[in-house]
Amino acid sequence: MSAAQPRVGVLALQGDVREHLASLSASGVVAVTVRREAELAEVDGLVIPGGESTTISRLLAVFELLDPLRQRIADGMPAYGSCAGMILLADKVLDGRPDQHQLGGLDVIVRRNAFGRQVDSFEEDLPFAGLDDGPVHAVFIRAPWVESAGQAVEVLAVVPETPVAGEAAGRIVAVRQGNVLATAFHPELTGDGRIHRLFAEIVRERA
């Protein structure tokens, strides 16, 4: 599967699939949708988009993708989850539905809808470890945050201590563990290609 231009899938069961496809294409990889096990087998990496984690979880079961996807992640396939995708990649979720499935791969505990029910969305500029050219403008939409992270997890961004941050101040919102990357926010919505380029780089190194 290795090629000059790796093939990166976007899990296309629900959520903001189109935006991720566009961001991936701009980062110089071949971006394709993934709904079937055979399509999953053809990609060098996978993005799990923002959307609704309980819905994506249910559809993963319906499309019989849960075990194949868990297996590929366990085998080291690069995966990037934004928002709902971060929830799905977490080993544990708080405030989830009891029947919600986890793909796992990230040794973190995430809290769903952590920014509070009233605060549907929140925007902040975040310093992001390893990225040049200044902070990332992060858009959070009914977003999770990481309550705690295991030792193998690299923290890439936390919410800065600003007057508007409130309880979110200091919370972990971007992490990496090996080939698994996750952000609580949506770079696919802001036109900042740096995080997709970082993911494309992880895929290239692995492919």
Residues engaged in binding ligand GLN (CB under 6 A): 50-53, 83-84, 87, 112-113, 141-142
Is 167 assigned a catalytic role? Answer: no
Is 147 a catalytic site residue?
no
Asked whether 85 and 47 are in contact (CB, 8 A), the reply is yes
Identify the H or E element spanning 84. Answer: helix 84-89
Minimal distance in Å, beta carbon 52 to ligand GLN? 5
Looking at the Cβ atoms of 114 and 180, the one nearer to ligand GLN is 114
Nearest-approach distance from CB 70 to ligand GLN, in angstroms: 18
Least distance in angstroms from the C-beta of 184 to ligand GLN? 9
At 176, list the tokens: 């990496």
Identify the helix (H) or strand (E) that includes residue 101: none
Residue among 27 and 82 whose Cβ is closer to ligand GLN: 82
Q: How far is CA 73 from CA 90, 169, 180, in A?
A: 12, 31, 8
Phi–psi pair at 48, nearest 5 degrees: -110, 115
- Of 20, 101, 188, 196, the catalytic one is 188
Q: Please say if 186 is a catalytic residue.
A: yes
Pick between residue 119 and residue 207 the one whose CB is nearest to ligand GLN. 119
Residue 64 CB, shortest distance to ligand GLN, in Å, is 21
For CA atoms 7, 90, 182, 22, the dihedral sign is positive
Which residue's structure tokens are 């769903």? 112
* Catalytic entry in 19, 20, 83, 196: 83
Positions marked catalytic: 83, 186, 188
